[in-house]
Structure 1
Amino acid sequence: AGFSYGRHDRFTDPADGGARVWQDTGYWRDCHPRDFLIATMEDMFTHQSGMLFDKTLLDAIGPFNTGLRRSVDYDYILRAARISTGAACPSVVFHQRQHDGDRGAGANKFPVSELVRRWIQHDQIIFGRIHDSWPLDEFLPRGETIDGPSSRRQALIQRGVVMARKKLWDLAMQDFALAATLMERELSDTERRLVRRGTQSKYGIQELLDNHVIGQGLRDVASLSSVGAELIGELATGFRWRIRDELTRCHPRTASRLLQLYITLTSSAFHNPHASESPWYSDDFLATTHKSPGK
């Protein structure tokens, strides 16, 4: 292995001097070494504080991209994983301190409430470049290459999923549209599992509720072919756990909006003879989304 990586846990020291509060790792992917690059493209889950690099690999990677103000470590890990293999350590190897103070230095300071938005912004810079410059077969497990329509479609779906999780929906829909028109054969089990991850970003999917243009674009993909309808239907199944989570947290309005979008996106798939399943919601579930908090 050119590098190794381990888990971390997180802690917060209360401002009032109370007992230190500990949390677990949070988002984490257990993956085979050949899948590490794709797993990391979907979301960064390991950190350089918990990594060791072979010196020859560091020489091959080159310096940090100092043009990025955030996500510099993410960019670096992607570059390492692209040319080398990683080895996972299941143990907690470092403790990550959480705090509510400002981030950045000097004139570039900003409040912690802006942190996620800025991460997303810089991740989009990185992945916009990746979409334009990386060969498509980089989106297949390591060792696999594009050798026909089937592997090309899987790579397109995987790249679309990565772009969707980075909220680059215009690029994601381009890839989904190409996949939908590449071949008529229904999605494989692997492709179904892949596409469902497109709406499971750790940063949520609020943009799908706020921007109707994205929903219309996804419906356009669904209208291209029976494969397109199936693809978008499977993509929308990622809403399920989010709907249930919103209900658990007593956010019925958000859950209801997500359910309505789910129904809209999957309606064409459920009329498709190649669809893999029937609607999972019921009249009772629909009624549940309209209950007031605490009911």
Structure 2
Amino acid sequence: MPQITAIVATYNRQQYLAEAIAALEAQDRPLDHIVIWDDGSTDGTETFARRLEAGSGGRVRYRRSANGGKSRALNAALAETAGDFVWICDDDDIALPHAAATLEAALTGSRAGLAAGRHDRFRDDPVSGRREMLGTGYWPDLTRGSILRHILEDVFFFQNATLVRREALERVGPFREDLARSIDYEMFVRLAARYPVAICDDILFHQRKHDGARGPRGARHTAAASEAVWLENDRLIFSGFREILPLDLYAAMFDGPNEGLRRRAGLLQRGTVHARRVDWDAAVEDFESAADLCPGTPLTATERAVVIRAMSGKHGTGGAFAAPHGPRLLALRARSVAGRGIAAALGRGAVWRVRESAARGAVGEAARAALFVARAGSQPARDTPIALHERTHLREADYDW
């Protein structure tokens, strides 16, 4: 029977840690080890964890280091622990009793490097103490497209609902210690680019929403500032992935008889990934390259769907409609037949931004988006007769790059 080691990195969260650890100890499938790595807490964490360790018969281990951030704590814990499967859990969330057994069953006997499931969210009222369940977070339609494509476009599962093979973690390397946030997301992308992901459709943990400070001591930020920090780190990690992930991996997400169209779809997909990080320099470069590949062939319906998603990222559209990016995107119309289709698909995606901005009362944003929609033009009158489809599963060879 494979061993499961749970790792909990913590910093000044003693008020939440007790409930998080109790949930791990209450798993239907008992965990082989629970490692609590204290990243230099100054509250009651050490006293609580040492008492827990003393009464666990060796199953709970407590380690402490100077404050250096969650990534450093996780890397240190991984270096000191064993076990076939690794379950990294946050110190403020609550695993459901069936979580470990469900994730283990998904990994056992499969080629997957990791298994992941759903979560829902909750908040404890600071005055009444009443627990309010907030429903599930973002979860895409996984019947269309590969898991890799979905995780590149947006994170939708989290560490408490993820069990990873130790050999997979060793292959892709340690957590990045230069990131204030998104360390789990960055790791998920690396893993999903090398291994299939087994998805469990069950809710496996309750994610706590609260207003406490986040990040290591030298880079603490409030919950209110999380969106800006999240965007900054997302852009940072994807600028790195642009150099690491080969275009062939993006092209492998598509199936069809025409190699040129598969590569064009890969460029459009990579451009869309960067657009959703508001990195329009990279996105425009990919869209222009795509317009020059099979330039006389109109976009397929599959390609149009990819480009439309460029405008629907959670970080907004940033400077997409202003100089220098807006004019370059609109200039795609005159570049080629393919370019005309790309511009029209971007305009189609921007229609949603018009509505969303108007609903928020952001009149200026809505006006800029509406002007872009009007100038982007319509779809070409005809589709290409060449078939192109998006894969739901990559081939085993696609992960060997």
- Name the CA distance, whole Å, in 1 between partners of 2:125 and 2:362: 28
Would you say the 8 A contact 2:252–2:262 is kept in 1? no
- Name the CA distance, whole Å, in 2 between partners of 1:260 and 1:73: 38
Q: Give 5+ residue unaligned stretches, structure 1.
A: 277-295
In the alignment, which of 349, 361, 386 is matched to residue 238 of structure 1?
349
In the alignment, which of 309, 313, 318 is matched to residue 201 of structure 1?
313
Q: Deviations over 1:257-291 (max 9, x none)?
A: 32222112x23x46x55589xxxxxxxxxxxxxxx
Q: Does 1:62 align with 2:173?
A: yes
- Name the CA distance, whole Å, in 2 between partners of 1:17 and 1:242: 38
Change (3 A) 1:152 1:141: closer
1:94-173 pair list within 5 angstroms: 94-141=205-252, 148-173=259-284
* Letter aligned with residue 13 of structure 1: D
Would you say the 8 A contact 1:146–1:152 is kept in 2? no
TM-score, reference length from structure 1: 0.83
Alignment correspondent of 2:300? 188
TM-score, reference length from structure 2: 0.62
Q: Deviations over 1:73-96 (max 9, x none)?
A: 111111111111111111110111
1:29-44 pair list within 5 angstroms: 29-31=140-142, 35-44=146-155
Q: Give 5+ residue unaligned stretches, structure 2.
A: 1-111, 385-401
In the alignment, which of 140, 156, 163 is matched to residue 45 of structure 1?
156
Q: Deviations over 1:154-183 (max 9, x none)?
A: 111111111111111111111110111111
Alignment correspondent of 2:339? 228
SS in 2 for 1:137: helix
* Letter aligned with residue 261 of structure 1: F
Change (3 A) 1:253 1:33: closer
Structure with the greater alpha carbon radius of gyration: 2
SS in 2 for 1:162: helix
Q: CA deviation at 1:138?
A: 1.0
Change (3 A) 1:23 1:146: farther
Alignment correspondent of 2:121? 10
Q: CA deviation at 1:193?
A: 0.9
Would you say the 8 A contact 1:8–1:94 is kept in 2? yes
Would you say the 8 A contact 2:334–2:340 is kept in 1? yes
SS in 2 for 1:89: strand
Aligned length: 272
Change (3 A) 1:186 1:162: same
* Letter aligned with residue 239 of structure 1: A
Q: Which deviates the most, 156-165 or 99-108?
A: 99-108
1:263-282 pair list within 5 angstroms: 263-264=374-375, 266-267=376-377, 269=378, 273-274=381-382
Would you say the 8 A contact 1:137–1:144 is kept in 2? no
Q: CA deviation at 1:30?
A: 3.3
Q: Which deviates the most, 133-142 or 153-162?
A: 133-142
Change (3 A) 1:121 1:36: same
- Name the CA distance, whole Å, in 1 between partners of 2:351 and 2:229: 27
Q: Which deviates the most, 111-120 or 23-32?
A: 23-32
Alignment correspondent of 1:257? 368
SS in 2 for 1:235: helix
Alignment correspondent of 2:6? none
Change (3 A) 1:100 1:146: farther
Select the structure that is richer in strand. Answer: 2
How big is the alpha-carbon RMSD for the aligned residues of Structure 1 and Structure 2?
2.6
* Letter aligned with residue 24 of structure 1: G
SS in 2 for 1:30: coil
Alignment correspondent of 1:288? none
SS in 2 for 1:126: helix
Would you say the 8 A contact 2:300–2:383 is kept in 1? no
- Name the CA distance, whole Å, in 2 between partners of 1:32 and 1:254: 33
Q: Deviations over 1:97-140 (max 9, x none)?
A: 11123222323112223211111111112111221232111113
- Percent identity between matched residues is 32
Select the structure that is richer in helix. Answer: 1
Change (3 A) 1:167 1:93: same
Alignment correspondent of 1:283? none
* Letter aligned with residue 154 of structure 2: D
- Name the CA distance, whole Å, in 1 between partners of 2:381 and 2:143: 35
In the alignment, which of 319, 322, 325 is matched to residue 214 of structure 1?
325
Q: CA deviation at 1:229?
A: 1.8
